Amino acid sequence: MTEAQTSFQDLAQLCRDLEQTTSRNEKAERIGELLKNLKRDEISPAVRMIVGKIFPDWDERVLEVSGRTVWKLLPKQRQRQAALLPSHLTILEAYRNFSEIAAASGPGSRTKKERVIESLLGEANSLEAEYLTRMLLHEMRIGVVEGVMLEAIAKASGSNITLVRRAMMILGDLGEVADLALTGGKTALEQVTIRLFRPVRLMMAEMSYDLSEIFGEHKSGTAFEFKFDGARIQVHKKDGEVRIFSRRLTDVTRSLPDVVETIQKEVRADEALVEGEVVAVGPNLKPLPFQELMRRFRRAHEIGHAIHEIPLKLYLFDILYLNGRQLIDLRYEERWALLSEICPPEILAERIVTGDLDEVQRFLAKAMNAGHEGLMAKALDSPYVLGVRGRNWFKIKPADQLDLVIVAADWGYGRRSGWLSNYHLAARDEASGTYLEVGKTFKGLTDDEFEWMTRRLQQLKISEGEYTVSVKPELVVEVAYNEIQKSPHYKSGFALRFARIVRIREDKRPEEADTIERMRTLFEKQFEHKGRPI
């Protein structure tokens, strides 16, 4: 006799309970209780549905269901007077329906999707319909982020949280990690290794503005590489096939056939996972602004024309897998040696290994004069820690600064709840005497400064909407940024990239703030070493 499947109502009720629970630990405990009672084939679907990600980031399937479609079909749901009337819908049936919705494509796909959604909601009671709708629209809002789910998986399986996190960084699928942990435990998690064509989470770096800090951290020595103003990619190669993934784990292979050709021709390995950046270059091979590169990444048609219009330069700087061997636990200097063996110097990041401050400064100037962003500093003895930001890697990016005026602020949420903490930055337009927005930022301030800013901006309040408070243009802040971009979204015509507040300048009057004209001059100056936007 077939064992009964778990009702979707059990999962929906858990979601409601989680929404009403504020304790992170209690959320993990409650999820773990459900997971321990599920049958093996129910674990992965349940985990994905609870976090509201029906498919992993690397999975190309998408639901593509609009709110309008769901709201149109909800009134057709079979009327049930009580929220908890019995339902025949199971976790597996709900997930099969989601898969069927994602599979609908081509002519008539919208009708097919609507038919499946109508049937799914028709089987559901009102509680189930509420959470099915949230899942369809990717709006769970029950406070279960990836970290909470990983803790729940560790609790339910009795596994070490570090092992669970590492498996997630390699596999990129909470459902599969949960299945392995609950059915195979520590042994199964320890056996998780990189799989080619399954993208992994990339290692990240801390920002540093002090080179002496880097030398103090990296006791075994430091390698300095050019930091490119490009798009980070991981490239998987096996038996001649090449696939390229973005830092968001999206497959961008079709948009980058020129990079595929370079890898096939230049990377001398049957199997490899290498990491690097691609940079858009102009006719003089100078780097183009980041916006131009994004035009290539978004291009789905007329790729041949795009290759000619926006050529790319590939720079590789790490290797995580080579001919059946996982390399992430090797020292950086060992990984670099292996990368150098299989790649010509022309496609490798330019680098030096030194402990001499003056030499680093000269190398930084060389990178900037070549049109790049700055330098990366990497500890020679550092392993590749998937998905983690740490001090084994540092970013060194000399940032320009502007004095700007705050003209509005948004109420924060999460940890910044109760503070005005997302600031609308503006430069002075000398012609009109007004202040025109050039960007927003919530970065750079301490908690005490957030509190101070909230009180000060409330004193300057002109008007207030649901989320935004408009203020008199009186408070000046010193803002660091990495690039000025052309922007159709702001009346000023400009937008700052990676803006962050360095100091609150109570000593400056708004009339002393930088002007739109100065921003225009700085925008033009950027192209002394870079190619101009196309």
Report, in angstroms and rounded to the nearest whole number, the Rg of the chain calculated over CA atoms.
26
Do 514 and 491 form a contact (C-beta atoms < 8 A)?
no
Handedness of CA 74, 75, 80, 83 (dihedral sign): positive
Q: Across the beta sheet with 374-379, what order do the strands follow?
A: 204-207, 389-396, 374-379, 222-227, 351-353
Q: What is the 3-state composition of the chain as percent helix, strand, coil, each rounded to the nearest 5? A: 40, 25, 35
Pairing of strands 400-411, 271-280: unpaired
Q: Which residue has the tokens 């005005």?
A: 420
CA 160, chain centre distance (Å): 26
Do 424 and 440 form a contact (C-beta atoms < 8 A)?
yes
**How many other CB atoms are there within 10 angstroms of residue 33's CB atom?**
13
CA 165, chain centre distance (Å): 17
Dihedral (Cα; 149, 30, 143, 391), 10-degree rounding: -40
Q: Which residue has the tokens 């729940």?
A: 152
Do 198 and 171 form a contact (C-beta atoms < 8 A)?
yes
Q: Kindly name the residue from 27, 155, 227, 378 that is annotated as catalytic.
A: 227
- As a whole number of angstroms, the distance between CA 343 and CA 324 comes to 18
- As a whole number of angstroms, the distance between CA 31 and CA 89 comes to 20
- As a whole number of angstroms, the distance between CA 330 and CA 328 comes to 6
Residue type, 231: A
SS3 241: strand
Provide φ and ψ at 389, rounded to 5°. Answer: -95, 125
- As a whole number of angstroms, the distance between CA 18 and CA 144 comes to 8
Q: Which residue has the tokens 């801390």?
A: 206
Is 219 tagged catalytic? no
Between vectors from CA 58 to CA 52 and to CA 63, what angle results, nearest 5°? 45
- As a whole number of angstroms, the distance between CA 251 and CA 245 comes to 4
Between vectors from CA 210 to CA 209 and to CA 212, what angle results, nearest 5°? 160
Residues annotated as part of the active site? 227
